[in-house]
Chains A and B, each alone.
Chain A
């Protein structure tokens, strides 16, 4: 039951990404192209997701523990630092070039689209490379 519900949660996320249009890099990039082919859809996705999560987290985190685990693993570090801001800046440049973020690309990978496979391969290379550099 625990694993089935976790799988269904992943399906809900992936289906939400597909329905929202955020699976489509052209649509994502057009949100940022205010001076050109502007498509404000991404703001509606973020708005809907944040409002539901804001309310839901407040209800869920009143519990003493999650349903299937002993503790909530919520980051306790709340202060921004240089590494966070540099990383987020680099992420934004990459997102602006390719149009995929990880949450959009992973559900898209399910279609077997070759461009998505290439993007996710490059994404993993970037992740593994950075982890190797920073762990030394």
Chain B
């Protein structure tokens, strides 16, 4: 499925993601990582620690509707795979981000911005693994 290259919207959206990471650090002193926020919210320890995670998640869920209020349509969500691969992918992502302690937001945005060697090696590894997986699925197996 073809998608349109959107340099300006993507740069602006990216800047908003970066600004959100800076705000969470300024306000709560935390890394904005979707993996860590979700993982901690699923395992309530003390109420203080749980509250900020649930507030972040609630805010994230509102994102498409704020977009809707501004633009008049919901953002496109085209899932180019069937249910089986979608579920398999979901389980693998869950295993991977738990073992690797982070994903695209925690390692990819915050970790790179902190110049963390750990996050840099994680990001390079998952970008290469994703690229190889897409290549094998689309161009070798023809899925």
Residues of chain A at the chain B interface (Cβ within 8 Å): 2-3, 5-27, 29-30, 32-37, 39-42, 44-54, 56-57, 59-61, 63, 65-69, 71-75, 77-80, 83-111, 113, 115-116, 118-131, 134
Contact B62 A2 (CB under 8 A): no
Given A21-B75, A25-B77, A111-B64, also A118-B19 (CB < 8 A): no
Contact A110 B6 (CB under 8 A): no
Residues of chain B at the chain A interface (Cβ within 8 Å): 1-7, 9-35, 38-39, 42-43, 51-52, 55-67, 74-81, 83, 85-101, 103-105, 107-110, 112-114, 116-118, 121-123, 125-135, 137-139
Q: How many A-B residue pairs have CB under 8 A?
A: 496
**Which label, helix, strand, loop or mixed, suits the secondary structure of the B interface?**
helix
Q: Report B-chain residues with C-beta under 8 Å of the C-beta of A9.
A: 20, 23-24, 27, 32, 56, 59
Q: Report B-chain residues with C-beta under 8 Å of the C-beta of A72.
A: 25, 29
Contact B79 A115 (CB under 8 A): yes
Name which residue of chain B comes closest to A59, CB basis: B22
